[in-house]
Structure 1
Amino acid sequence: MNRYNETMSEEKWTVLYAVSVSCVYFGSVVGGVGTNFMLTYVSRKRLMQLSHVINITGVIVIALVAGTTWSYEALIIGRIIGGVSLGIAYNLPSLMMSEMSAKCKQNFWQGVVGAAVAFGILIGSIFSHPKVLGSLSLWTVLVSLAVIPSLIYLISSHWIPNTPFYVLRTYGKDEALEVLKKLRKGTLADIKEELSSMTEETSGKRKVLIKEMCTTKKYRNMLIGVIFLYLNLNLVGIDNILLYSDKIFIEAGISPDKATFATIGVFAMQMLASLVGSKLVDRFGGFKVHVASNILIIFAHVTYTVSQVATPAAPNAMPYVAIFAVGVFLIAWSGGTNLATFAILGEITSEPTRSTAYGYSAGILWSVAWVASFIPPYLKIHLGSYALTIWLGFATVFLIYVIIFIPKLKRQRQQEVILYSKESQNNEVKSLTVES
C-alpha cells in the first residue's frame, strides 16, 4: 500500500505470503545440488565455512536492505541467499559426522545433529514471539540474530579438523592418522586398525559419479533409498507445521494471542524429544526408531484431521486435540524421523558414493520442499478440514518403503564392507608374493 497507494488484494497477499515463505527452498535447491560439485574442489570443512559466509550475506540483505527500504523483493532475495546456505548446511553436517565419528557412535552423533536442528527451531520460535523480537519494529533485530551462530562457527572452525576420509584421500595415511588421534580416545593400535579399515574402504575406489550411480543396480538402489529417506523428512508435512504453526492453531480455534505460546510449547516438547531420541537411536538403531516415528506421524495426522472435522460438534475441546496432534507430530518427527534418517543414511552409503548421493538427493529434497512449503494455504482453502491428508498418504507410503527396502540396503552395504576387506587382503598377499 505504501508503494502503490492501494490495498493489496487477498489473492495477491496469499501468493506473496506463500512465495516469501517458500522461496528459501529455491535457494536450498541451488545449495543442495551445488554441494556435490563444490566438494570436488573444496574440503568439507571449507564448504561448511562458505555456507556460514553465505548465511551472513543473506541476513545482511534482509535486515539492512529489506529492513530499511521495506522492499519485499529484497526480502525474497535475502531468503533465497539464506536458502543456499541452508541447502549446503543441512546435509553437510550429516556427511561430516558419517566420516568423522567412530562407527560404534555414529548413530549417537547423527542424533546430535538432529537435536541441534530442533534446538534452533525452538530458539527461533521463542525470539520470534511478538512480545520478544517478533514485532514490526524489532523484526530486523530478530533476523540479525542468525549471524551469531555463523560467527561462532567461523571462529571455532579453526580448531575443527577435516574429516579423516578427506585427509586420507587428499594427503595420505600419515596425515589421516594424525587427524584420527585428535578425534579418538582409543589406543594407538585401535586407531591404526580404524585407519586400516578406512583405507580398505577407499583403496582403489574413486568417487562414484551420478551416471554410474544411475546405471549400476546396487548404486541405483542405494540412491533411491537416500532420496526416499530425504523426502520422508519433508513430505510428511513438516513444513506445513513449522512454517504455518501459528496459523494452524488459530484455524483450529485457538485465539491469536495464545497461538504463539502453543507453538513455543510444542516446539519445546520437540526439543526434549530430540534429546531423548538421540539416545533411542543410539540404543535401538535408526531403522526401528524410523518405523516407530512414521507410525506416530500417521496417528498425529489422523488425530488432527478428526479434530478439524469434529470442531463444529465440540468447539471447546477440539482445539486442545489439535494441539495434542501437532505435539505428537513434532515429537515423532524431531525425536525420531529427523534423527533416524541421518543415522540410516550413514549405514546405507559408503565413502565413494556419499557425496554424490547426498548432493543430488538434497537437490530433489529442496525442490520438493519448495512446492510443499508453497501449497499449505491452498490446501486449507480447497481441502478444508482434510488439508493434512495428503501428508498422511505420503507418510504411509514411506513407512511401507522403509520396512521393505531399508534392511536390504543395509545388508548390501555390509556385504560391500566385507568385499572391500577381502580385496585388500588379496592385494596384500599379491604384493608379498611379488616381493618374495
Structure 2
Amino acid sequence: MYGLLLPVGQVASTFFAWSKILGSYERVLGAILYRLIFTVLFVMCFYWIPETPYQSYTKHGSVEAAEILQRLRSSDAENIQIELNLLRSVAGNDLDTQREATLKEIITTPQKHFLCVVVTFSLLMGRGFSNVLAFSDKILLEAGISQDVVTPTSMGAFFLSALASAGAIIAMRKYDCRTLMIVSDIFIVLSHALMTASIQTSKQIPGMSWGAFAALYLFMAAFGVITTATFALLGVLCVDRTRSLCLLIGGAGFWFLAWFVGFISPYLAVWIQGYAFLIWMGTTVLSMVHFSLFVPMTKGKTENEIQTFFRK
C-alpha cells in the first residue's frame, strides 16, 4: 500500500506546491505536508493493527495466536488449528530461536538476508528519485521545455508512476518481484541516458527537449513498479525474529539516501551540469548487479527455500 501511496503523494504535493495554486513554489513542503497527513492517519489506526500470528505465539502463547489468526483469516476452527500447528513447528521449543534478534546479534554474527534487506531498501532511493521529485521542473526547463507546461508535465509523470505502481500489484501475481525490479532498472538506466542526452543537446537540437519529456515519464513509470515490488519483496526476505530490525535499519538507509540525493543534486548540477544523471545511472547499475547476484527468486518459494539461498 505504501508503494502505491508514495506516487499518489507525488502528484498531490506537486499540485499543491504549484505556483498557480498556492502562489509560491515549495514542492518539498507540499510533499512533507502530504506525508504528515498519512503519518497521522497511520498513528491513529495503529491501535487496531494486530501482531503477526508468529509474534503473538512466541510472546503470548497459542490462545492469542489463534485469536489473531481468526481475525486475519476468518477461517473455520480446523484451518486455524492447522496453521497453529505450523506455527508451533516453525517456532519450535527453543526460546532463543523464538525471541526477536538484537542489534548486537546482527552485528556480531552478520546474516546474509539482513544485509540483503538493508541494501535493497536503501538502494530504492539511490536511483535519483529525490532529484526528480524536487527538481523535475528545473530539469525540464534546462532541457528546453516551456515554463508554462513543466509543472503539469511533472504531475502527469507522477500520476503515471501511481498507475505503474497499481499495475505492479497485478503483475506480481504472475512475475517474481526480482524480475520486475531488474527489468524496471533497465528502463531507469535508459531514462537517465536519455535525460543526459536531452539536456546536453537541447540547445543545439531543439527537438531533443521531447527526449527529456520521455525520459521523465519512463523514469517515473519504472520507479513506480520498483517501489511496489521492493516493499513486497522486503517482507519475504526476512525471517520473523529479524524482520523488525531489518526494516528499521533498512528504513534508516532509505531515508538517509532520500535526503542525500536531494541534498547533493543541486551541487552536482553546478559541478557537472547535465551529466549529473550519469551518477544515478551508475547507482542503478549497481542495484541491478545486487538484484542479479544477491537477491533470490521468491515467487512460489517457502521461507525455508528463500533462507537456503542465503545459507549458501
- The two structures have a TM-score, normalised by structure 1, of 0.63
> Larger deviation: 148-157 or 163-172?
148-157
Q: How many residues align?
A: 302
The CA deviation at 1:286 is 1.0
CA RMSD of aligned residues (A): 2.9
Instruction: Give 1:318's aligned residue.
Output: 208
Aligned CA distance change for structure 1 residues 362 and 412 (closer, same or farther; 3 Å): same
| Structure 2 counterpart of 1:327, one-letter code | Y
Alpha-carbon contact 1:126-1:132 (below 8 Å) kept = yes
For residue 309 of structure 1, what is the aligned residue in structure 2? 200
Question: Aligned-pair distance for 1:145?
Answer: 6.2
C-alpha change, 1:190 and 1:339, in structure 2 (3 Å) is: same
State the SS of the aligned residue for 1:186: coil
One-letter code aligned to 1:376: S
Q: Which residue number in structure 1 is paired with residue 106 of structure 2? A: 213
The alpha carbon displacement at 1:297 in A equals 0.8
Give the TM-score taking structure 2 as reference length: 0.86
Counterpart-to-counterpart distance in 2, 1:372 and 1:176: 43
- Identify the residue that residue 355 of structure 1 maps to in structure 2: 244
Distance 1:227 1:122 in 2: 28
Shift of 1:290: 1.1
Secondary structure at the aligned position of 2:149 is classed as helix
Structure 1 unaligned blocks of 5 or more: 1-111, 419-436
How far does residue 338 in structure 1 lie from its aligned partner after superposition?
0.9
Letter in 1 for 2:17: S
- Matched with 1:234 is 125
Structure 2 residue runs without a partner (length 5+): none
Deviation string 1:351-389 (CA, Å, 9 cap, x unpaired) is 011111222222233333332221111111111121110
Q: C-alpha distance in 2, partners of 1:140/1:244? A: 13
Greater Cα shift, 222-231 or 406-415:
406-415
Q: Given the superposition, is the C-alpha separation of residues 239 and 199 from structure 1 closer, same or farther in structure 2, using an over 3 Å criterion? A: farther
Change (3 A) 1:197 1:255: same
Evaluate the alpha carbon distance shift between residue 198 and residue 329 of structure 1 in structure 2; reply closer, same or farther with a 3 A threshold. farther
**In 2, are the aligned partners of 1:380 and 1:387 still within 8 Å (CA)?**
yes
Aligned residue type for 1:229? T
**Which string of whole-angstrom CA distances, capped at 9 and with x for unpartnered residues, describes residues 104-155 of structure 1?**
xxxxxxxx33112222222222222222235389x99997666644554455
User: Is residue 414 from structure 1 mapped to residue 304 from structure 2 by the alignment?
Assistant: yes
Secondary structure of 1:370's counterpart equals helix
Q: Residues 322 and 353 of structure 1: is their aligned pair in 2 closer, same or farther, counting only changes over 3 Å?
A: same
AA at the equivalent of 1:396:
V
**SS in structure 1 of the partner of residue 140 of structure 2:** helix
Which among 220, 237, 242 is matched to residue 330 of structure 1?
Answer: 220
Relative distance call for 1:355 and 1:152 in structure 2 (3 A) is closer
Give the secondary structure class of the aligned counterpart of 2:148. Answer: helix
Identity rate of aligned residues, in percent?
28
8 A Cα contact 1:300 1:329, kept in partner:
yes
Q: Output one character per residue of 1:267-304: Cα deviation in whole Å (capped at 9) or x when no partner.
A: 11111111101111232121111111111111111111
Q: CA deviation at 1:319?
A: 1.9
Aligned partners of 2:168 and 2:228 also within 8 Å:
yes
**Corresponding residue for residue 162 of structure 1:** 51
